[in-house]
Amino acid sequence: MKFSANLGFLWSDLSLVDAIHAAKAAGFDAVECHWPYDTPAPDVAAALAETNLRMLGLNTSRGDVAAGENGLSALPGREADARAAIDQALSYADAIGTPNVHVMAGFAEGDAALAAFQANLTYACEQAAALDVTILIEPLNHYDAPGYFLTTTDQARRIIETVSHTNLKLMFDCYHVQLMEGCISRRLQALAPIIGHIQFASVPDRGPPDDGELNYSYIFGIISQLGWDVPLGAEYRPKTGTNATLGWLHRAGWS
């Protein structure tokens, strides 16, 4: 099993460049991040080359965070802003060799929001195809992100089927899916054909995976049986310094 360090949470006290080096020193196989845009892309590309790591994914901009925004693509009337955020993410991903871009839906509801999201995803997929980039959508749980448009894997599956682009996939975050739906193993098996990336954290506290109500030894075994060979994203919140939480990383049978 291979693992990717999500640098949005792990080593968040370091610069993105230094966090990439920390992930390499800790033994991760890849990295991923949320919003890298404050760091020049050439600096990130250089750090990735120096460590021989790949940045597996990044997110589109949340929008006006001070105003409470958490994504733009499902907001009716904000198509220009949403597509500018998509263009920004794809340009950055292309500059650093990142294969996945997570298009964030935002806080919205209703048919108009669905239509806006699907139209913006169609745009994203068309632009991403020329760059050989996969577009990801991720259901978020309504405890951490109340009011977020995309909340379940069934909803995501319907959107993926409707948009009908081969480079639109599901970001399957075990933490969010467990809180909203449960049945992690069965859902992984059923959704495997449309999954583009898998993330994990303990439930319910979103800490390291060696605690909580999910047995990740078993879940990682299921993922391995599915033939998954892409690094899994460790997107958890360290309760102490990140290095002190990495006992799970080299556990027998996990890596």
- Environment class of 64 (CB within 10 Å of its CB; exposed 0-12, middle 13-18, buried 19+): exposed
Determine, yes or no, domain membership for 58: yes
Low-confidence ranges of the chain (pLDDT < 50): none
Determine, yes or no, domain membership for 190: yes
DSSP state of 67: G
101's torsion region: left (phi>0), alpha (psi -120 to 50) or beta? beta
Q: For the packed helices 16-26 and 41-51, what is the interaxial angle rounded to 10 degrees? A: 10
Determine, yes or no, domain membership for 125: yes
Contacts of 82 (CB under 8 A, 6+ apart): 60, 72, 73, 75, 116, 120
Q: Provide the annotated active-site residues.
A: 138, 235
DSSP state of 100: E
Determine, yes or no, domain membership for 255: no
Residue 200: give the domain boundaries. 3-250
Report the half-sphere exposure of 218 (CA within 13 A, side-chain side).
7
Split into its structural domains, the chain has a count of 1
Residue 93 near residue 35 (C-beta atoms within 8 A):
no
Q: What does the pLDDT read at residue 250?
A: 82
Q: What does the pLDDT read at residue 254?
A: 65
Determine, yes or no, domain membership for 120: yes
Residue 160 near residue 168 (C-beta atoms within 8 A):
yes
CATH number at residue 112: 3.20.20.150
Output the CA angle 85-45-170, nearest 5 degrees. 50
Per the omega criterion (within 30 degrees of 0), is the bond before 36 cis?
A: no
Q: What does the pLDDT read at residue 239?
A: 87
Look at residues 120, 133, 197, 135 and name the one whose alpha carbon lies nearest to residue 168.
Answer: 135
